[in-house]
Structure 1
Amino acid sequence: MTVKRAAGAVLATALLCTGAVACGGSDDGKKANGAGSGETQSRSQVTEVITAAYEKTAKAKSAKVEMTMTAPKSMGADAGEMKMSGVMGWDPTVMDMTMTGSALTEGDPEAPEKIRMLWLDNVMYMDMGAAAAKDMDGKQWVKMDLNSIAEQAGDEKLAKQMTGGLDSMNQDPAQQLAMLLDSPNLKHVGPAKVDGVETQRYKGRLSVKEMMESNKGLDEVLGKSEREELFKSIEKSGIKGYDTEVWVNEDDYPVRMDIDIKSPEGTVKTSQKFSEYGAAAKVTAPPAGKTFDLMDMFKELEKSGAGTGSDSGI
């Protein structure tokens, strides 16, 4: 249960960052102006600032990150707060993050209070700690291969969405900025300080339909009918839209980005702070001899008749 809870928490955050709110963006080469102004900026000025931030972030390809994700109590087992800090890279996606928070430990007193998570080649590795190793053949690292899990589910569309989607969207805050550029109500809020740094604050909102229409990455992995099915599925979940706010410093880099996803169960809030753009993001997979592959567990469950569907809690 501890492994499954941690895996679910990590997967939710990872998919949120890589797919749920990412989209293709502008690449028109405009340069920011007015970012240091305390006056309200015009739409053209706002577009130039966010475009410049997009270009600078895309070029940096990595940064140090502090992330907090909060889900309301109404979401049941998925509720609570999760914090992640470390370094991440995009194009390609790599992460070396440490997780803490009530989302890991709520309802499970034996769950580790801190988990290190690595992401490399669409595979997540989680260090569950020495205490958990006794239940995993003496291995304290858990491996989640997203490609293999999708294939094991026997759902070709799921596999295509998960593998292709992650490949095309990456773990890329530049894509979050690209999404913001496509918001019809993008606007400048005003000056603000973030941890003592002078910034300009911007916000915008996309409906589910607008998000999918602007998400060029989906064109690479889904056909028209598959896109329609995905849209209906998201609509059925009751998600109303995606609200994004970003704070841009005088060097055109985003230093903070907040994303709220509204649903009938409440709002899932994600806040990220970025620093040291271009920081080294080198990730090495843990030794195979110290790694417990979740696919092996799934296969055992399948043999025993438990399956890998929702009834098994996976």
Structure 2
Amino acid sequence: MNQAVRTRAGIALAGTALLVGGLTACGGDKADAGTGKADGGKAAAEQAHSPAEAVKASYLKTVAAKFAKAELSVVERDGKTDSQSGTKGWYPSSHDVILKSEKPDTRSVMIGDMVYTHLGEPLMGKAWMSMNLAKDGKPGVRLNDDPAEYLAMLLGQEKLTHVGAEKTADGIDAEHYKGSFTGADLLKADESTKVMQEANRQYLHESVKHLTAFEVDLWIGKDGYPVRAETVSTDGKGTTKTTAKFSDFGKAAPVEAPPADQVVSFDEVTKETDRKLKQADEDLKEADKTLRDAGLGGLDLDS
């Protein structure tokens, strides 16, 4: 059974890596316009343009849109760059994206805790494999890198500053905001975060608990939607840099699960693998017995 166990473990690890591979987000200096300094006019303008209010308004508008197109480039802790493009959704977190890395491109669909990965070759006659990320009946907690999530992380953050109006790297007219936060800052709850539904706020707090630092440059377009975010997230394992671009708010088609008859679950695959390995083990034992009864030695199954 030693070989069977090793084979079973390898399949489980490979399946987990395949399905979870597509899953990574998260100050306003109070200038005195009455000092008479040369920058007094700029300070007054900054006071008039409240980053907190701008983020809150954008958050509420984004929440109502539900879905948007997204393009992400992620420099992982090991220095490797992954990317994804497609649709992002929120409340519940969802995506329908093409994942690009050193491995062949993969299509990933996620709705809440269910993740579906399109298989390069059919498995048990199915084109998709599913995995439930919930554990012991509790929802899986993770960041989704969607626009509503980025805005939610910045609700009520006093360290967020308004850089000014400018064009993004993609040539879009937008207002630029910037901030650098500690893990404690991200967990801070105040009146601003109460615009979130309580369940969503608690989920976000759980999702950012592992972060020790978070830096962000955020651009909000003239229509009030976030169009670009550049973030640096640090935790106990290292630093991840993400560049995200968003468009087509409320126009992107909702994320839908693959047809049920085309999906095999990870649990089904592992059960079938276990069954085949058990059968193979029994067949080997029977062959070993046959050889020994014939005086031909055995298969040395313990080696």
Spell out, residue by residue over 1:109-168, the C-alpha distance to the aligned partner (whole angstroms, 9 max, x if none).
Answer: xxxx111111224211111222xx3xx324331101123xx12xxxxxxx5352xx57xx
Spell out, residue by residue over 1:288-309, the C-alpha distance to the aligned partner (whole angstroms, 9 max, x if none).
Answer: 34323112355678999xxxxx
Match of 2:31 in 1: none
Spell out, residue by residue over 1:250-295, the C-alpha distance to the aligned partner (whole angstroms, 9 max, x if none).
Answer: 2221110122211354311122111111124333322334323112
| Secondary structure, aligned partner of 2:138 | helix
Match of 1:88 in 2: 88
Match of 1:52 in 2: 57
Distance in 2 (CA, whole Å) between partners of 1:185 and 1:173 is 19
Distance in 2 (CA, whole Å) between partners of 1:251 and 1:222 is 25
Match of 2:180 in 1: 205
Q: Within 5 A, what are the aligned runs for 1:23-172?
A: 41-43=45-47, 45=49, 46-73=51-78, 80-102=80-102, 105=103, 113-130=104-121, 133=122, 136-147=123-134, 150-151=135-136, 159-160=137-138, 162=140
Instruction: Look up the equivalent residue of 1:54 and give its one-letter code.
Output: Y
Cα deviation for residue 183 of structure 1 reads: 2.1
Distance in 2 (CA, whole Å) between partners of 1:56 and 1:221 is 16
Q: Which runs of 5+ in 1 are unaligned?
A: 22-38, 74-78, 106-112, 152-158, 305-314
Distance in 2 (CA, whole Å) between partners of 1:297 and 1:257 is 38
Contact kept? 1:188, 1:202, Cα under 8 Å: yes
Counterparts in 2 of 1:172 and 1:44: CA distance versus 1, 3 Å? farther
Distance in 2 (CA, whole Å) between partners of 1:80 and 1:2 is 19
Distance in 1 (CA, whole Å) between partners of 2:247 and 2:227 is 6
Spell out, residue by residue over 1:54-100, the C-alpha distance to the aligned partner (whole angstroms, 9 max, x if none).
Answer: 22212212111111222132xxxxx6222111122223433211111
Cα deviation for residue 2 of structure 1 reads: 4.7
1:174 to 2:178 alignment:
no
Contact kept? 1:245, 1:258, Cα under 8 Å: yes
CA RMSD of aligned residues (A): 3.6
Contact kept? 1:180, 1:244, Cα under 8 Å: no
Instruction: Look up the equivalent residue of 2:225 and give its one-letter code.
Output: Y
Instruction: Look up the equivalent residue of 1:118 and give its one-letter code.
Output: V
Distance in 2 (CA, whole Å) between partners of 1:69 and 1:54 is 23
Match of 2:171 in 1: 196
Counterpart selection for 1:241 from 213, 222, 227: 213
Cα deviation for residue 244 of structure 1 reads: 2.1
TM-score (norm 2): 0.66
Contact kept? 1:68, 1:81, Cα under 8 Å: yes
Match of 1:286 in 2: 258
Match of 1:266 in 2: 238
Match of 1:28 in 2: none
Counterparts in 2 of 1:179 and 1:286: CA distance versus 1, 3 Å? closer
**Paired residue total:** 241
| Secondary structure, aligned partner of 2:229 | strand
Instruction: Look up the equivalent residue of 2:105 and give its one-letter code.
Output: K
Contact kept? 1:95, 1:281, Cα under 8 Å: no
Contact kept? 2:85, 2:98, Cα under 8 Å: yes
Distance in 1 (CA, whole Å) between partners of 2:47 and 2:201 is 32
Answer with 43-52 or 80-89: which moved more: 43-52
Structure number with higher helix proportion: 1
Q: Tell me the percent identity.
A: 29
Cα deviation for residue 171 of structure 1 reads: 7.2
Match of 2:21 in 1: 9
Q: Which runs of 5+ in 2 are unaligned?
A: 1-12, 27-41, 278-303
Counterparts in 2 of 1:80 and 1:300: CA distance versus 1, 3 Å? farther
Match of 1:36 in 2: none
